[in-house]
Homo-oligomer: A and B are copies of this chain.
Amino acid sequence: MPIIQMNLLEGRTVEQKRNAVAAITEAVVRTLDVRPDQVRILINELGVEHFSVAGQTAAMRQAAAANAKDL
Contacts and interface: CB of A to CB of B under 8 A. Distances in A.
Contact of A49 (B5, B14, B54): B14
A64 interface: no
Chain A binding surface, main DSSP class = mixed
> Contact residue range for chain A?
35 or more
A61 to B, nearest CB: 11
Contacts of A7: 1-5, 42
Interface of A: 1-9, 12, 14, 16-28, 30-33, 35-37, 39-46, 49-57, 59-60
Given A4-B4, A20-B27, 5 more contacts: A1-B8, A6-B28, A23-B30, A26-B55, A44-B50
